[in-house]
Amino acid sequence: MSQGVSRRDFIKGLVGGLIVGGIVGAAGGYVATPPREKTVTIEKTVTIGTPKTQTITVTKTVTTGAPVTPRREKVKVGWIYVGPIGDYGWTYAHDVGRRYVEKVLGHAVETMYIEAVPEAKAGPAIESLIEKGCKVIFTTSFGYMDPTLEAAKKHPDIWFWHCSGYKRWKNMGTYFAELYQPYYLCGIAAGAISKTLKFGYVAAYPIPEVVRHINSWVLGIWEGLWHRVRRGELSWDDLKKVEVHVKWLYSWYDPPKATDAARTLVEQFDADVLAFTEDSPAVLQVAEEYQKKGRRVWSYSHYSDMKDFGPHAHLMGQLVDWGLMYEYILAYYLAGVPRSMDLWWLMGDGGDVYEGWRKGRGAAFYWLDEWGKFEEHPVLPEWAIKLIRYREKLMKERFWDPWNADFWTPFFEKLTGKKGIVDREGKTRLEPGEVADHDLLWTIDWFVWGLVEPVPKG
């Protein structure tokens, strides 16, 4: 293998070049047909055997005319959003993906959407899109899972894709651009800069997706703090003072409630780094308010670029390019080979070479070029920048994962007396030698060590 070609590039380029090349070619053929052929009679002068010249008649098939594009109707594709498209978070990012589809596949598809649909009303919204002629429907909230499954069983001629769920059908797939790895990197940044050693998280619902992201952020915090101990900046006794608090909104989009929760985390618990899984920039805005008052509080972008809402408080982000995934799914449909599958893209997937797709940053990432050079980050120390880049590289190549119990054994054994990955009650959840798999992360309902409050039940 030549230098400059990653392990993933080599393997996926080899396999993907065979698969997606045919799919994209077929998708392109959806709107174009070969030039017409017809049989014509042509008089041609030829020499046969002797110097005598004869004129004979031959029949020959020739190509005439320009390529003809049939007038096929565009495939109607619909999206159902849980929030408004202006939330600058989850729904906004999905709508950016929809608009990307219009740009790259506009010759073959027509898109439409319904926004701010309560999860209890997903069924009627789905039926509305079907009545409007949609042949592919994306439902973009965890709570839409069961209504989407019901619709798939009722309408076998329609294709459904549910985001963040786990139930599938013959004509229903699932997809998710997973963010636990970017959350981990954001956690390293938090651990690297915190002065109070108190951290806060504003969370929507206690579902596995959110619990997984909280835990991954806290594990990242622990690695950042672990490096500070090694550097002599902190002691192990300091690490025993670490607290992470979570405030639950029980809503995906409630900016006033998110604002109150963020302020409580700062005022009541002295948190100086705030993360969140909710669909507004409210938490970052609260951090910015404190920065303007002279109190160092930091936060992030989430799903999309929120930096303008907190330019002084902004560290980095957990970001998603849903357009890459939507394009990938629709290419199969347009090629006439739709299939039910579970797309779970980690860092680098959909970008470097995913089944031969394309090179780029991937569907899940943590930094935007317009923010400047990450290596020149105005807040993070140089060692933290190098560590984040190093972990990013290892995760993209699948050489390392933050949910590796062997990696955490020396840390948690020193801090808690237990080996492996330890929960908030001091119980080993992943034994040495174990690495969390998709199923564990997709169903997780417990918090790692350092979180003060338990995961709410019921």
The token duo for 227 is 């490096």
458 residues of the chain, pLDDT tens digit each: 333 333 334 333 433 443 344 444 444 434 333 334 444 444 444 444 444 444 444 444 444 433 444 447 999 999 999 999 998 899 999 999 999 999 999 999 999 999 999 999 999 999 999 999 999 999 999 999 999 999 999 999 999 999 999 999 999 999 999 999 999 999 999 999 999 999 999 999 999 999 999 999 999 999 999 999 999 999 999 999 999 999 999 999 999 999 999 999 999 999 999 999 999 999 999 999 999 999 999 999 999 999 999 999 999 999 999 999 999 999 999 999 999 999 999 988 875 444 443 345 788 999 999 999 999 999 999 999 999 999 999 998 889 999 999 999 999 999 999 999 999 999 999 999 999 999 999 999 999 999 999 999 97
Q: What is the pLDDT of residue 349?
A: 85
Superfamily grouping for domain 75-177+322-345: Response regulator (3.40.50.2300)
Q: What is the pLDDT of residue 19?
A: 39
Superfamily grouping for domain 180-320+363-443: Response regulator (3.40.50.2300)
DSSP bridge pairs for 78: 112, 137
Q: What is the β-pairing status of strands 243-248 and 273-277?
A: unpaired
State the span(s) of the chain assigned CATH 3.40.50.2300.
Answer: 75-177+322-345, 180-320+363-443
pTM, to two decimals: 0.84
**Single-letter residue type at 5:** V
The token duo for 151 is 């619709």
CA distance 134 to 225: 50
- The upper half-sphere exposure of residue 8, i.e. CA atoms within 13 Å in the direction of its Cβ, equals 22
